[in-house]
Amino acid sequence: MKPLILIVGYLVVVTLPLAISWWVGGPPRQFQQELASGMGILAFSMVLIEFILSGRFKAISNGVGLDVTMRLHQIMARTALVFALLHPFLYQGTPSGGQRPWDPTRALTITTDFSALSSGIAAYLLLPSLVVLAIGRTQLGFKYETWRLLHGVGALLIAMLLWHHTVNAGRYGSQPVMSWVWLAMTGLAIGSLLSVYLLVPLLQKARPWRVTSVARLTPRQWEVTVKPDGHRGLDYKAGQFVWLNVGNSPFSLKENPFSICSAPAAGPELSFMIKELGDFTRTIGQIRTGTVAYLDGAYGNLSLDGRTEPGVALIAGGVGLAPLLGILRQMRLTGDSRQVKVIYGNRIIDQIAYREELDAENVFYVLQEPPETWHGETGFIDSALIDRVFTEIEFSEWVFVMCGPAIMMDTVEDHLIERGTPSQRILSERFSYD
Ligand SMILES: Cc1cc2nc3c(=O)[nH]c(=O)nc-3n(C[C@H](O)[C@H](O)[C@H](O)COP(=O)(O)OP(=O)(O)OC[C@H]3O[C@@H](n4cnc5c(N)ncnc54)[C@H](O)[C@@H]3O)c2cc1C
């Protein structure tokens, strides 16, 4: 899926309940009342689509990249919050203690029935908490898995509360057509959550993997290899990633995204290059061969499949090398004879992984803190370095694939665009959506 299709599709679905409500109609009301209802309707449909954006739908995220769908998820959550918080204050009308026979469409009255309002009030309090917790997760010191559980349960609760509030208190939501629309949309949203936490683990249980080796690459980076246990393995494109769960039940929340650094052409075994960072990655060295693993994937759009550019630039910062190594290995195994230049940045020399393999390539190592005997590039992967490595023709004709720290990718991307590289020839992936 292309970004434009994603945005158009999003706009269509998000405004669908609003359009149907307008079509269902009712006696005219003041503009401010309509605005209040419209904001409430939009906030609810945005909240429901959040489930789809953060659910692992390959049709959505593999086209534009998970980092893009997650960014949209974050932005729309904040927009929905603003709409939801504003909407009750815009209403002006006669409060009603219940349904009035002379006002069946609630054009003249606003309900004060506690049962209909209580769910709205509860969602009103929960939604900001969910957003604040997501924004401040790291600062608040939450373990990723704890936060993920709270986020999922909180979102589920909010969806159910909003559904109850909308169909009971809403002027439009209480109309039969809209009740069905909201029921269907809420069902799809909750279904997508259940699919990630129940259906996918069930499928994973039938397709276990086993760890075949764990090797230290550098002082804080490891290579973990797994092979399918009793099945064909995974269909994937070089450069994609999976959610990897090692040694836990498939229903556990302890799974982390890692790029596959091996190549599909190498066979069913998969390798991962993993940097120590937090509670799971710091225990990689303790994983024993034979340990069971479960994989969910493959995801991601960092792929050269179907691309015909005459040359390939691979630009990696630290462990961002992982997906690019998968791409490079696939090119070598399939006899892809296009020119390749690799830029690989690290802080110190000891962090350079797969040196022997990379030395056989046209590689530019970059070190921030080089030893005295270093003859390679120094400093950061910045505009000046990019200009030293690539020619004008390469800027305009090659495909540039990059993965690394956000600052590196922003700098390089801006510079490539300045040098005339079309944005569709710049592929990137972020390891963090914070
Ligand atoms: C698409 C993608 C590909 C990645 N590929 C690699 C790779 O090839 N090699 C590598 O070393 N690292 C990779 N990462 C980063 C890796 O996922 C994290 O470093 C790892 O999950 C940290 O887990 P932890 O339990 O050790 O640390 P924690 O302290 O639990 O987490 C540290 C940070 O990692 C991120 N993270 C943790 N768990 C998850 C999760 N389940 N989903 C999303 N983000 C999570 C969060 O930002 C969190 O704040 C990738 C990340 C993404 C999004």
**Closest C-alpha to ligand 1, atom 45:** 256
pLDDT at 33: 82
Residue 276 CA to ligand 1 centre (angstroms): 10
- Cα of 258 from ligand 1 centre, angstroms: 7
- Report how far apart the first and last C-alpha atoms of the chain are (Å, whole number): 23
- Which residues are CB-neighbours of 312 under 8 A, at least 6 positions away? 304, 327, 331, 338, 339, 340, 341, 398, 399, 401
Point out the ligand 1 atom lying closest to the alpha carbon of residue 255.
Answer: 41
- How far, in Å, from the CA of 222 to the mean position of ligand 1? 14
Q: pLDDT tens for residues 154-211?
A: 999 999 999 999 998 877 888 889 999 999 999 999 999 999 899 999 999 999 999 9
Q: Whose CA is nearest to atom 39 of ligand 1?
A: 256
The minimum-distance atom of ligand 1 relative to the CA of 323 is 8
pLDDT at 350: 96
What per-residue confidence (pLDDT) applies to 3? 74
Q: Give, using CA atoms, the residue closest to atom 26 of ligand 1.
A: 278
> Which atom of ligand 1 lies nearest, measured to the CA of 257?
17
pLDDT at 5: 84
Output the CA 82–ligand 1 centroid distance in Å. 30
Distance 174 CA to ligand 1 centre (A): 43
CA distances from 313 to 57, 325, 333, 352, 390 (A): 29, 12, 18, 18, 9
User: What three-state secondary structure class fits 280?
Assistant: coil
- Nearest-CA residue for atom 15 of ligand 1: 431
Contact of 324 with 342, CB cutoff 8 Å: yes
Task: Answer whether 43's CB lies under 8 Å from 83's CB.
Answer: yes
State pLDDT tens for residues 386-425: 999 999 999 999 999 999 999 999 999 999 999 999 999 9
**CA atoms of 290 and 211, how far apart (whole Å):** 5
pLDDT computed for residue 421 by the predictor: 97
Q: Would strands 377-378 and 363-367 be described as parallel, antiparallel, or unpaired?
A: parallel
CA-nearest residue for atom 48, ligand 1, is 144
Nearest atom in ligand 1 to 138's CA: 49
Q: Whose CA is nearest to atom 4 of ligand 1?
A: 258
CA of 431 relative to ligand 1 center, distance in Å: 7
Please give the angle made by the CA atoms of 359, 411 and 256, to the nearest 5 degrees: 70
> If we measure between CA atoms, which residue out of 186, 143, 142, 141 comes closest to residue 165?
186
Distance 244 CA to ligand 1 centre (A): 10
Query: What is the token pair recorded at 366?
Result: 């970059």
High-pLDDT (> 70) share of the chain, %: 94
Q: pLDDT value at position 340?
A: 98
Nearest CA to ligand 1 atom 6: 258
User: Which residue of 54, 68, 139, 144 sits with most ligand 1 atoms within 8 Å of its CB, as the best mutation to test the pocket?
Assistant: 144
In this prediction, residue 111 carries a pLDDT of 62
242, 277, 346: residue to mutate for ligand 1 pocket, most atoms within 8 A of CB = 277
Pick the closest to residue 14 from 60, 50, 67 (CA basis): 50
Q: Which residue's CA is the closest to the ligand 1 atom numbered 17? A: 257
- Determine the residue of 245, 256, 301 to mutate for testing ligand 1's pocket, defined as the one with the most ligand atoms within 8 A of the Cβ atom: 256
Mean pLDDT estimate for the chain: 91
- Please tell me whether the peptide bond between 36 and the residue prior to it is cis, using omega within 30 degrees of 0: no
- Residues having CB closer than 6 A to ligand 1 are 66, 138, 144, 241, 255-259, 272-275, 277-281, 319, 322, 429, 431-432, 434
List the residue whose alpha carbon is closest to atom 21 of ligand 1.
256
Find, among 109, 119, 113, 290, the residue nearest to 213 by Cα: 290
Ligand 1 centre from 158 Cα, in Å?
27
The DSSP bridge partners found for residue 110 are 95
pLDDT at 376 (0 to 100):
93
The Å distance, Cα 257 to ligand 1 centre, comes to 6
Per-residue pLDDT of the chain (434 residues; tens, 9 = 90+): 577 888 899 999 999 999 999 888 777 777 888 898 899 999 999 999 999 988 888 888 787 888 888 889 999 999 999 999 998 887 766 555 555 554 555 555 566 667 778 899 999 999 999 999 999 998 998 899 999 999 999 999 999 999 999 998 877 888 889 999 999 999 999 999 999 899 999 999 999 999 999 999 999 999 999 999 999 999 999 999 999 999 999 999 999 999 999 999 999 999 999 999 999 999 999 999 999 999 998 999 999 999 999 999 999 999 999 999 999 999 999 999 999 999 999 999 999 999 999 999 999 999 999 999 999 999 999 999 999 999 999 999 999 999 999 999 999 999 999 999 999 999 999 998 76
Q: How far is CA 292 from CA 91, 116, 185, 243, in A?
A: 57, 49, 37, 14
